[in-house]
Amino acid sequence: MQFDPALAARAAFERCKSELGSDWSTAVDLEDTFSSNAGEIARHAHLELLALADCHPRARSFQAFCIYITWQQVTEETIARHFQTGINLCEAYLAASDGDLDDDREQITELHESFKAGLGLTEEDEIQIEFRRDTPKGGD
């Protein structure tokens, strides 16, 4: 990875205050719990942050923040569910951007590939590409 997801999370979180309105104080409390704990407490705070993100689907910086902290969850607890959550969040973020450039798009694209690689999905894609290349086409 060409960046530090923890630093990117911090920067994205600092930008999202105006996006969350009255939910900002809740986000601050949950982020503090997530950042200062591990295990079940951090996992619960992560889920609550994701639920808050669901309430603010247009909050781009907050959505980016949630993607970055999902990567942190992956490094804390390497399970398929976190990788899949990361993929889903990245795909929603990237689909909503319509190709617009923003502060996080390049990094989220890189994380998307990392989440997929964690589930072995990039290897499958490479195999499929090779299969299509080796498959005879009409008229061959």
- Residue 73 resides in a domain: yes
Domain range for 115 is 5-134
- Residue 102 resides in a domain: yes
- The CA-atom distances, in angstroms, between 118 and each of 10, 85, 94, 122, 129 are 23, 12, 19, 9, 19
- Residue 140 resides in a domain: no
- Residue 139 resides in a domain: no
- Residue 33 resides in a domain: yes
pLDDT more than 90, % of the chain:
75
The total number of structural domains that make up the chain:
1
- Residue 25 resides in a domain: yes
Q: Which residue has the higher pLDDT, 35 or 135?
A: 35
Q: Residue 119 in 3-state DSSP?
A: coil
In angstroms, rounded to a whole number, what is the distance separating the alpha carbons of residues 63 and 12?
9
Tens digits of residue pLDDT in 72-114: 999 999 999 999 999 999 999 999 876 666 779 999 999 999 9
pLDDT of 79 reads 93
In angstroms, rounded to a whole number, what is the distance separating the alpha carbons of residues 122 and 99?
22
- Residue 130 resides in a domain: yes
HSE of 98, CA atoms in CB hemisphere, 13 A: 0
139 Cβ neighbours under 8 A, 6+ residues apart: none
Is 77 within 8 Å of 42 (Cβ atoms)? no
pTM here is 0.84
